[in-house]
A and B are shown apart, each in its own frame.
Chain A
Amino acid sequence: MEKDKPFKLFVPPRLSGGQVSAVKPQASTRVAGPCQGFNKCPDDDFNLPFVMMSTSNRGEITDSDAISQQVKLCSDVDEEHVETMNELYSKLYKEAEKIKRWKLTVESELKQKERKLQENRKIVEAQRKAIQELQASIFENEKLSLKLEDEICENKDLLKENSASRHLCNLLKETCSHFSEKSNKYEHEREETRQLYVELNNNVERMIIAFEELRVQAENTRLEMCFKLKEEAEKVDKFEKECKLEVSMKEKQISVLTIQSDEKDDIIRDIKTQLQESKNKIDDLVEAKRHEGDMLKESQINQEYLRAELEAAKVSLQKAEVTQKSLEAELQTAVKALVQVTGEKEAEVEECKKIKALHASLREEFETSISNLKSLLQKEQNRLEKCEDESKLLTLELRNKTAELEEMTKLKCDKEMQLEELSETLGKVEGLLAKKKDLEATVENLQEREKETKNVLQIREKEIHDLKVQLTSTAEKEQNYLKQLMTLNTDLEREALKNEQLKVSINKLLLEKEQIAQEKSGMATELKKLQESHEDSRKKEENTKQLVENLEEANGQLRQVKTNSLMEKMAKKGEEIKSKLDEREENAKSIENEISRKEKHLKILENKLNNLKKQVENKTKCIEELQQENKALKKKITAESKKTSIYEGKVNKLQLEMENMNKQHKETVDIYQKDIETQKVNENKLLEEVEKMRLLVDEATITQRETDVRCQHKITEMVALMEKHKHEYDKMVEEKDTELKLYKIKEQEQLSSKRSLESELSCLKSELSSLKEQLKAEIKEKENLAKEPPQNTVPEDEKKHKKIQNHFSETPKLHLDLDCASIDVKNKKSPNDIPIKVNMMEKKKMPPSASARSPLGSPSLKTYIIKTPPVHKLQSENTNLHSERCMRKKQKVLLQLDAHSDSSEHSDLLSIVSEEEMFKKLYKDYPRASQIYATTPKKKPATSNVKTPGSVLKLKTMRKMREAGWTAVSKVDRKRKIKEAEKLFT
């Protein structure tokens, strides 16, 4: 099966060609058999190559043609079922032939096929072998395929890996792209950062530069500021110095001004007082003026009386003239006499003249004084408005008086003239003496009246003088007042009013000036008009002259023509012209006169103008001066007002400060008063406390005294108690002394017992020593015996030794116990108070005992002497060592003694052994003793310590007392002990 499959597998695809498909249509109806056979034959695998071979061998072309013809025939048969049978037979024949040929060929082919089969079998075998080989190879191939499959799997894995790697590659690509993008971004950022770093560096450097510049600028500015500050500080210092100087100056000025203001205030007060006085004086003067007015009225009345008398005198003069005429004759007769009289009277008249001259001079002086007074009054008028009216009234009155005086003088002149006339008449009427006498009488009366008038005048002059003096004084005062008042505001206001008035007047004057100027201009225009008219007239004159000349020429011509006829006319006309010329000339003259007048007027007006201008200038100057004065005064007033305001402010401040100070003072005073009150209260409290304290002190003193008394009582009681205690203590000491004595007696008794016991001990020890010597002797004997029969004797000796030891072990124990007890008793009984003394006593006692024992003394006593109790007592702790040493010494001594003693006794040996055993027991016992010794000293300080803290002082006192007592007692004790020792020794 395995072999067939590959064949079947191989054959069909190759033989299923186009021939079969081409043959199948041939196997229709008739040729179906062969066709089928043909068709069946080809089912065998070997037909085709056979056919192919036949066709190829016999006639391939024919076959091919036949086949093609068969194919064509078949197609024709199929198409034309009923064709010619010939053709069919031919064809069948041909086909039979063909079949025959085919049979032959098939037979040949069969043979060939058999051959081929054989060959093919061989081939098959070979192929089988090959197939087997192939199968082996297939196995190998399968193995290989398996391997391949494995490899394919591996390849698939690898593909998967590849895909995964591809995926990874893609991922890597993506990551690379991302990374590249990021790297680009980072590069950009890096570049940006670099640039930023560079910019940063640049900025930092700029900043550094800017900071340095800033620093430099700051330094510069600081330096500039420093310089400026220094300069400004210097300036400020300078300004401060200047200001200080100015302030000092101003302060000085202020002080000066304050002083001045004070002075001015004083002056103003004085001025006010003076003003009041002057007002009073003015009132007085007004009253005096009223009186003077009354006097003037009276004088006027007198004048009227005098006028009436003068009229009467005139009447009388008329009468006297009438009488003079009658008396002229008489006068002529009396001229001579009268010459003399006249001479005399002339002298008198001269005298009168002199008097008159004097009067005139006086009048002149008065007039000058009046003028001065007038001037003063005018000044006063200018300065005082109140006084002006009065002064004007006074001046008017004075003028009236002066007029009256002038009238009086005129009257006097008239009277003088009358007198002269009278003198003349007297000279004429010298004869009329009676009348003369009357006249003289009248003259005398007149003279008297004159005198009276003169007296009145003198009185009035005196009054005037007084008035003048008063006026001058008042004027001076008023001038002073005015000078002082001028500085004040009232004057300023008045001056301002004056200034206004003056301005008004100036304005008026200016208006007048303008009017005058207008008049001047009018006059100038009139003058011009007049001059023009004059010129016109002159021109007219010239014209007329020319006309005259022309007329004269015409006249001459006319004269030549009409001489006579026209001469008259010419003369008439000339006359008329002359008259006209005269008139014109007269008119011109009148005009010239008018011009001259007006020029004079003009000059006058100009003079007036100049005067007015001067006046105006003077007034303006005065006004300016007054204005300057006003300004200066205003400045002063403002300055003084400021100063006054400042001073008022200061005064207010000072008042406020004063008020504050007063308030503070009051407050402080109140506080101090309160403090004083509180302190007073405290004082009272303290005083109360002091009183209390005093009371307490008194009480304390009383208590002190009481306590002193009590203390004294207590002291006395204490002293008594102390004395009692002393007595008690003395008693106690005595009792203790007695007890001590008893104890000492007991001690002595015990010492005596001790000595007896010691004596017993010595006896026992002597016995012991004797026994030891016996023991030694026996031991030596036993040793000698042991040397001779060593084996038998030794155990016996040992037994004996044991027995002896047992015998002797009992006794020495008791002795030693006794010894120890005795020693302990001694040690215990030895008190702390008297260790040394006891020792001393014992030492003192011992030599006699030794001396007492020495005669009794066996050699064992020597050893005993060595064992003196003081050694035990002094060296209590080293007793063991000492005992050992002593014992060794004893042994040595005993051995020496044994060596000396020839007698060898058991007792000696036994004694030695017993002693050794005793010593062994002693060694055992001594620790106990040592313990006891160790315990005893501990107990004693404990007991002493128990006693000490409670009663240290008592012990001290007791010790002292006991020492004091012992000193006395010791002597007694020594005596007693000596006695006792003597007793013992006896």
Chain B
Amino acid sequence: MAESEPQEGNYDNMVKMVEDLNRDLENLLEEMEKLTVQATWMTYDMVVIRTNPDLATSMRRLEDAFLSCKEEVEKKWQDVLSE
């Protein structure tokens, strides 16, 4: 009978524990879900940002502009030299 009582208490504790655990686990699951969602969003955003073609296009445009400008500048000297 001495063991049964703590067992019962333990049982109650157990139930509480289990309930707490379940709650915690549920909370954690929710948190994890949120976090996963956030992470997926993050990854999605990162992918979107990384795979954003605007930057490449803008960089190409910049390169084109720079090359054209460079050509113009070099042309000037060439023309000046030729003239």
Contacts and interface: CB of A to CB of B under 8 A. Distances in A.
Interface of A: 148, 152, 155, 158-159, 162, 165-166, 169, 172-173, 176, 179-180, 183, 186-187, 190, 193-194, 197, 200-201, 204-205, 207-208, 211-212, 214-215, 218-219, 221-222, 225-226, 229, 233
A204 B49 contact: no
B15 to A, nearest CB: 11
B68 to A, nearest CB: 5
A190 B49 contact: yes
B43 to A, nearest CB: 10
Given A176-B32, A176-B35, A190 B45 contact: yes
Given A204-B58, A205-B58, A211-B62, 13 more contacts: A155-B10, A165-B21, A169-B28, A197-B49, A204-B55, A204-B61, A208-B62, A212-B65, A212-B69, A215-B69, A221-B76, A222-B72, A229-B80
Contacts of A162: 14, 17-18, 21
B83 A226 contact: yes
Interface string B40-83: 00100110010010110011011001101100110110011001
A218 B76 contact: yes
B65 A187 contact: no
Contacts of B68: 211-212, 215
Judged by DSSP, the binding face of A is: helix
Contacts of B12: none
A207 B62 contact: yes
A148 to B, nearest CB: 8
Contacts of B46: 190
B34 to A, nearest CB: 8
B80 A208 contact: no
A194 B75 contact: no
Contact of B69 (A173, A201, A218): A218
A342 B42 CA distance: 171
A780 B39 CA distance: 125
B26 to A, nearest CB: 11
Given A155-B14, A222-B79, A200 B72 contact: no
Contact of B42 (A186, A201, A205, A207): A186
A166 B17 CA distance: 9
Given A152-B7, A215-B69, A222 B76 contact: yes
A176 B38 CA distance: 12
A162 B25 CA distance: 11
Contacts of A186: 42
Contact of A208 (B28, B61, B75): B61
A332 B65 CA distance: 151
A764 B14 CA distance: 142
Interface of B: 7, 10-11, 14, 17-18, 20-21, 24-25, 28, 31-32, 35, 38-39, 42, 45-46, 49, 52, 54-55, 58-59, 61-62, 65-66, 68-69, 72-73, 75-76, 79-80, 83
11 contacts: A152-B7, A159-B10, A169-B24, A169-B25, A176-B28, A176-B35, A187-B38, A194-B49, A197-B52, A211-B68, A225-B76
Contacts of B76: 218, 221-222, 225
A232 to B, nearest CB: 10
Contacts of A226: 79, 83
A166 B22 CA distance: 10
Nearest to A173: B28
A210 to B, nearest CB: 8
A785 B25 CA distance: 132
Contacts of B52: 197
Given A197-B52, A208-B62, A229 B83 contact: yes
A486 to B, nearest CB: 58
B47 to A, nearest CB: 11
Contacts of B28: 169, 172-173, 176
Nearest to B23: A169
B80 to A, nearest CB: 7
A159 B75 CA distance: 83
A201 B69 CA distance: 19
B10 to A, nearest CB: 7
A204 B32 contact: no
A215 B49 contact: no
A221 B75 CA distance: 12
Contact of A211 (B25, B66, B79): B66
B23 to A, nearest CB: 10
Given A204-B58, A229-B80, A166 B42 contact: no
B77 to A, nearest CB: 9
Tell me what chain B mostly uses at the interface: helix, strand, loop, or mixed: helix
A193 B7 CA distance: 57
Q: 7 tightest A-B contacts by CB?
A: A211-B65, A204-B58, A218-B72, A222-B76, A215-B69, A211-B69, A208-B65
Contacts of A179: 35
B64 to A, nearest CB: 8
B21 A215 contact: no
A183 B42 contact: yes
Contacts of A148: 7
Contacts of B31: 176, 180
Nearest to B17: A162
Contacts of A207: 62, 65
Contacts of B21: 162, 165-166, 169
A207 B63 CA distance: 10
A183 B25 contact: no
A193 B65 contact: no
A287 B55 CA distance: 119
Residue from the set A158, A200, A211 with the largest chain B CB neighbour count within 10 Å: A211
Contacts of A158: 14
A76 B66 CA distance: 127
A183 B38 contact: yes
Given A179-B35, A219-B72, A201 B25 contact: no
A179 B35 CA distance: 8
Contacts of B79: 222, 226
A589 B29 CA distance: 156
A859 B46 CA distance: 125
A215 B52 CA distance: 28
A225 B73 CA distance: 12
A204 B80 contact: no
A951 to B, nearest CB: 87
Contacts of B24: 166, 169, 173
Contacts of A190: 42, 45-46, 49
A233 B25 CA distance: 89
B54 A201 contact: yes
A233 B75 CA distance: 20
Nearest to A149: B3
A148 B14 CA distance: 15
Contacts of A233: 83
Contacts of B18: 162
Given A190-B49, A201-B55, A225-B80, A180 B35 contact: yes
A218 B73 contact: yes
B55 A214 contact: no
A219 B68 CA distance: 11
A208 B58 contact: yes
Nearest to A179: B35
A637 B58 CA distance: 78
Given A207-B62, A207-B65, A197 B55 contact: yes
Contacts of B14: 155, 158-159, 162
B58 to A, nearest CB: 4
A155 to B, nearest CB: 6
Nearest to B68: A215
Nearest to B28: A172
A215 B17 contact: no
A214 B69 contact: yes
A529 B52 CA distance: 120
A441 to B, nearest CB: 118
A215 B64 CA distance: 11
Contacts of A221: 76
Contact of B39 (A169, A183, A222, A229): A183
B2 to A, nearest CB: 13
